[in-house]
Amino acid sequence: MSEVNELLAKAMKELREEGLNPDLLLVGPQFLEYSAPVLKEYASTLKIYKIDELGFDAVVADSSFLGQIRRASRRISIEPLFREKEMWEEFQKLDV
């Protein structure tokens, strides 16, 4: 979960450095399922919406500029983290 927190914090920091105010988080269903506890921490500062098409991804954005300028959002993916977790679980099942 700390990896998800780091990814979100980094994306928000990058947007702030661009002079933007990240206030919106669009999340895919798998992202939401995997990181729900972390998202509770951000619920007071970000409006969070589930978008089925995003899957394992999320988009952090400044809603004032979304769709107007390209750099107003950052897309992050937890699929690599999820796949790594599955791989380690499979290794543990092998009892090597």
Mean pLDDT of the 7-19 span: 94
pTM for the structure as a whole: 0.81
User: Which residue from 80, 66, 28 is spatially nearest to 49, judged by alpha carbons?
Assistant: 28
pLDDT band per the 50, 70, 90 thresholds, residue 86: low
Mean pLDDT of the 12-32 span: 95
CA distance 93 to 96: 8
| Enclosing domain of residue 10 | 2-94
Number of domains forming the structure of the chain: 1
- pLDDT value at position 39? 92
CATH number of the domain enclosing 13: 3.30.2320.10
Supply φ then ψ for residue 60, to 5 degrees.
-100, 130
C-alpha separations of 93 from 1, 27, 81, 86 in Å: 22, 31, 19, 11
pLDDT band per the 50, 70, 90 thresholds, residue 88: low
pLDDT band per the 50, 70, 90 thresholds, residue 11: very high
* Locus of tokens 């690599």: 80
